[in-house]
Amino acid sequence: MSRVSIRVLGGGHEVGRAAIAVKVGDSSKYLLLDYGVNFNERDEPQLPLHIRPSDLAGLVVTHAHLDHVGAAPLLYTTAKLPAVMTLLTKNLSEIMVKDFLKISSYYLPFDDLSLKTLMDNTIDLNYGDEVRVDRYYIKLINAGHIPGSAMAYVEVDGVKILYTGDVNTIDTRLVKKPSIEGLEADILIIESTYGNANHPPRSLIEKEFIESIKEVIESGGNVLIPAFSLGRSQEILTLLYEKMPWAHVFYDGMIRTINNIILSHPEYVNRYDLLANAISNFKIVRGTSDRKKIVKGKENVIVASAGMLKGGPAVYYLKKLMDDPNNAVFLVSFQGPSTPGRKLLEDGVLSESNELVRARVQWFDFSSHAGSDGLLWIVNHVKNVKDVVIIHGELSSCEALKKRITNVRDDVKVHVPSNGTEISIEI
């Protein structure tokens, strides 16, 4: 019998700020699974609860979105812990955190040197490879979320733990869905972003999206697609190239740098041919003069960061295109509460000035997170699960997923911890 301690430092009853510390036995150190940030209504970064680096055996980073890696350099201001991630996640994390520091350094208790120390102490693994960190055997498994994203499979003293990180359970052009057949775990730590909802079939969303773009450009309008620079932009570019290779498509912002990094890791991309062709055949925006020409033109499609309209070139395009009802703004990323993108969707106005946006505004569900059915599929297909820990979701979403699990599985115990909670499980 082993006692497993699970400390929730972030991601309890909230989306993002993922930070879960696990320990088996009383004498061992914790293994930290992600250490991310989220943002308050004033767009200020919110760090996870503190844990002493001296109490840690190491860190696993599941992917390069800031809500999973954004706070990780804080651990490296005074320590040199081993960090485990895929090579693509390492390269993307460096770019994402550097940009984060440039924008938010005033609020952050770490700097570029801490980031460099993190990078210097990273062990990069391919999917399926295993490494030992202290007493923990760690394996990374494709999570289907973005290129390079992984679920963390951890074994120590015969106890098996699977942490999903952010996970998706459908094939997309960008990434394949996870393969978990035959996987066993005593404890499953699972995200629940959409634990209370399912997504429409992706094929229907794509059909409506492409038809809507054609409607706009056939009437002489321009289409702005604000999108997350990591993951969503590449997904949209591959779709556009497959369905509309003849279109005048431009991409702008941090997307340009991310594209080059992902292209250098074809092993993590499902339809690498589509992505490579989209990036080489569609047009890169190189500066202000290009932007001015694009907004004065007609029948253009612009994929630009940032996805929630909190900054980046997407805001410039919105201001230039918003007054013409022939134009359109098609949002394809999650719009967080109090963000300019959410205000545009709900109130139809430009956030900073409350000016009415006369362009067509529409949101399309291209989520890279599994819906409720997909999450339940994971619970049912990982063998021998005794305890399920639900994190990374609003409380209502966590509780909805718990209800679905308990309705079909009376052989597992389900935990819905808040931040600061330490769960003790006997295995």
pLDDT score, position 269? 98
pLDDT at 393: 96
Would 3-197+368-426 and 202-363 be classified into the same CATH topology? no
Both tokens of residue 70? 């954004």
At residue 426, the pLDDT reads 92
Per-residue pLDDT of the chain (427 residues; tens, 9 = 90+): 889 999 999 999 999 999 999 999 877 899 999 999 999 988 899 999 999 999 999 999 999 999 999 999 999 999 999 999 999 999 999 999 999 999 999 999 999 999 999 999 999 999 999 999 999 999 999 999 999 999 999 999 999 999 999 999 999 999 999 999 899 999 999 999 999 999 999 999 999 999 999 999 999 999 999 999 999 999 999 999 999 999 999 999 999 999 999 999 999 999 999 999 999 999 999 999 999 999 999 999 999 999 999 999 999 999 999 999 999 999 999 888 889 999 999 999 998 899 999 999 999 999 999 999 999 999 999 999 999 999 999 999 999 999 999 999 999 999 999 999 999 999 8
Kindly calculate the radius of gyration of the chain based on its CA atoms and give it in whole angstroms.
Answer: 21
Question: Which uninterrupted H or E stretch holds 425?
Answer: strand 422-426
**Side-chain half-sphere exposure of 336, counting CA atoms within 13 A:** 19
Question: Contact, 70 vs 100, CB < 8 A?
Answer: yes
Pick the CATH number of 202-363 from 3.40.50.10890, 3.20.20.140, 3.40.50.11540, 1.20.1050.10: 3.40.50.10890
283 contacts 232 by C-beta, under 8 angstroms: no
Query: Does the 3-197+368-426 domain belong in CATH 3.60.15.10?
Result: yes
What per-residue confidence (pLDDT) applies to 44?
93
Going by DSSP bridges, is the β-strand pair 122-124/83-85 parallel, antiparallel, or unpaired? parallel
Q: State how far the Cα of 226 lies from the Cα of 359, in Å rounded to an integer.
A: 14
Amino acid at 68: H
- Dihedral (Cα; 51, 55, 61, 65), 10-degree rounding: 10
Round to whole Å and give the CA distance between 317 and 416: 42
385 closest CA partner among 393, 376, 394: 376
Rounded Cα distance between 346 and 273, Å, is 37
- Residue 25, pLDDT score: 87
> What does the domain layout of the chain look like in residue ranges?
3-197+368-426, 202-363
pLDDT for 26: 76
Sheet strands (E) in 3-158 = 3-10, 19-24, 30-33, 38-39, 45-46, 56-60, 83-85, 122-124, 130-133, 136-142, 150-156
